[in-house]
Structure 1
Amino acid sequence: MVAIADRFPQPAGRDDGFFLGGALAMTAVTIAGFSLQLGMGRSSFGAPPLVHAHAVVFMGWVAIYLLQTTLAATGRIDLHRKLGWLAAAWIVPMIVLGVAITVMSVRVGRAPFFFRPAQFLIFNPLSLFTFAGLTAAAIVMRRRTDWHRRLHFSGMALLLGPGFGRLLPMPLLIPWAWEATAAVCLLFPIAGMAADLRRTGRVHPAWTVGVGVTLALIAAIEALTFSPLGPALYQAVTRDTPGAAIAPLAFAHPPGPPP
């Protein structure tokens, strides 16, 4: 990736406004989604400690991303660099807690009813690992601001699924609820491509990497879910738990009394 970057000089002019606006929009999507969930009584503060730890760490990342983007846009580069190493370390508990909460959900049989349980078990961890990969690439490319911020932006877009999933009419999107959410998240890097094209007349190759990796992730999740490996993985993870009684590829009945 460094070799590819060397063939493309940093574009002239500043694009701070787009990235700061994008960070604000991503933050708004996340806060709006979870606030709506809480306001409608679909979530409460009575959740297990693991859920609270997961929420604190992931909302912490949203705050870090917004702060880092703001620091870069306002010229506070020294502080931006110092905070960057905290951000890098923050990814570790995000992965640990993200995988843990996913496993806990399928074991107790509480995967969201508009997702196939096996697909939920696969896409949550794989999305996190892909986010971590794009973020690590952004850190490696930190001396190339044009690549750095676009790879970070593409990684952050992968984390918007839970926010959008609480804003979109997910039950009405069955059986394509997850695919629809993934497609909406892609709108952010696509907007970045459009902004580059309008400002410089070309699309920066970092967007091609970000969007390409995201599309490859979606294809891998679909392939794993509907291959024999998907149900087998689900059965291995849920063995001897209430989740084992749930069909890996079947949609659960919505909460409430049966019809």
Structure 2
Amino acid sequence: MATTFAPAPRMARKDRFFLNTSIAMATIVAAGFSLQLAMGRSSFAAPPVVHVHAVVFMGWVAIYVLQNVFAASQSLALHRRLGWIAAGWTVAMVVMGTLVTVRMVRAGNAPFFFTPLQFLILNPVSVLTFAGLTAAAIVRRRQTEWHRRLHFCGMALLLAPAFGRLLPMPLMIPYAYELTFLAVMVLPMLGILHDLRWRGSVHPGFVWGIGVMIGSTLLTEALIYSPAGPALYAAVTAGTPGAEVAPYAYPPFPGTPLITGRPASM
């Protein structure tokens, strides 16, 4: 008796979007940080905590791409196993993202295109928002269309530091943060166009994901300019060089390239 084999399912064109954009996001990250190194604005002489931070966040980029590869190739068992590793990885990202931000602000070493208070608030809010979107995606893991769109929005939010290394940030003062956020939003806008083309309407996953992203920006702005902002800055920087830096004052342009995580005087 002849045995027939069913051909492996081909990935639908509409599903390639999430795989292709995961690769595009990883490319943006690689380009941003490679440019930083090539221009002498980064160094392997950064403190160990900064290297741990880099490994953790770059590890997430690899996880995100792999998850999309597994989903596209129908390797669902691998996708699920890596998914639980990713859940724990998210906790490490929140810890390291906040730790490095606080360390830099306490050292008086916030990027010169942000005010110190802006930098202190925007990074933790962004990484916590990412974690929230990731948690929501995990809760919705059995609803594929929700799951992939919430993860997409969370990953897009993490692109801000990469865009910050590709865009002319000094020329964008005093709106560097806001304009970087607009660059980040290009990815979800592409998601909307994808949905309109292939579904005829925007999936609620993108509506909620984009709404949360915008909400995180509004929350950041509200905290920065509320009485809670300077109070938080004073509490975090008490007894450190950062306490000598005005929370709303832009640091002077550096005379030499800064090494992430090290005081400007070093």
Q: Same fold (TM over 0.5)?
A: yes
What is the CA distance between 1:189 and its match in structure 2? 1.1
**Aligned residue for 1:6?**
none
- Measured in 2, the distance between the counterparts of 1:256 and 1:231 equals 28
1:227 partner SS: coil
| Residues 111-153 of structure 1: CA deviation (Å, up to 9, x unaligned) | 0000011011001001111100000000010001000000000
Q: How far is 1:183 from its partner?
A: 1.2
Deviation at 1:170, TM superposition (A): 0.2
Match of residue 129 from structure 1? 128
Match of 1:103 in 2: 102
**Could you tell me which residue of structure 2 aligns to residue 162 of structure 1?**
161
Alpha-carbon deviation of 1:176?
0.2
CA distance in structure 2 between the aligned counterparts of 1:215 and 1:53, rounded to whole angstroms: 29
Q: Percent identity?
A: 60
Which structure is larger by alpha-carbon Rg, 1 or 2? Answer: 2
User: Could you tell me how far apart the structure 2 residues matched to 1:117 and 1:247 are?
Assistant: 8
Secondary structure of the corresponding residue to residue 254 of structure 2: coil
Q: Specify the alignment match of 2:28 in structure 1.
A: 29
User: Which sits farther off after the overlay, 226-235 or 126-135?
Assistant: 226-235
Q: Determine whether 1:177 maps to 2:211.
A: no
Instruction: Work out whether 1:230 is the aligned partner of 2:229.
Output: yes
Aligned residue runs from structure 1 range 1-259, under 5 A: 15-256=14-255
Shift of 1:229: 1.2
CA distances 1:155-203 after superposition (whole Å, capped 9, x unpaired): 1011001100000000000000001111111111111011100112101
Q: Secondary structure at the match of 1:180?
A: helix
How big is the shift at 1:92? 1.1
Equivalents in 2 of 1:249, 1:217: separation in Å? 20
How far is 1:106 from its partner?
Answer: 0.2
Which residue of structure 2 aligns with residue 5 of structure 1? none
| 3-state DSSP of counterpart to 1:102 | helix
What letter corresponds to residue 240 of structure 1 in structure 2? G
SS of equivalent to 1:16: helix
Deviations 1:39-93 (A, max 9, x none): 1111110110000000000000000000001110111111111111001110111
The RMSD of aligned alpha carbons is 1.0
Three-state SS of the structure 1 residue aligned to 2:180 is helix
* Structure of higher RCO (CA pairs closer than 8 Å, 6+ residues apart): 2
Distance in 2, Cα, partners of 1:67 & 1:204: 24
Aligned amino acid, residue 164 of structure 2: G
What's the CA shift for 1:14? Answer: 6.0
SS at match of 2:51: helix
Count of residue pairs the alignment pairs up: 245
Instruction: Tell me the amino acid that sits aligned with residue 85 of structure 1.
Output: W
Distance 1:200 1:121 in 2: 40
Q: Displacement of 1:16 after TM fit? A: 2.0
Q: Determine the C-alpha separation between the residues in 1 that align with 2:127 and 2:81.
A: 24
For residues 229 and 178 of structure 2, what CA distance do their matches in structure 1 show?
16
Moved >6 Å (runs of 4+)? none
What amino acid is the match of 1:80?
Answer: H
Amino acid at match of 1:112: P
Q: Distance in 2 between matches of 1:15 and 1:142?
A: 19
Letter in 1 for 2:65: L
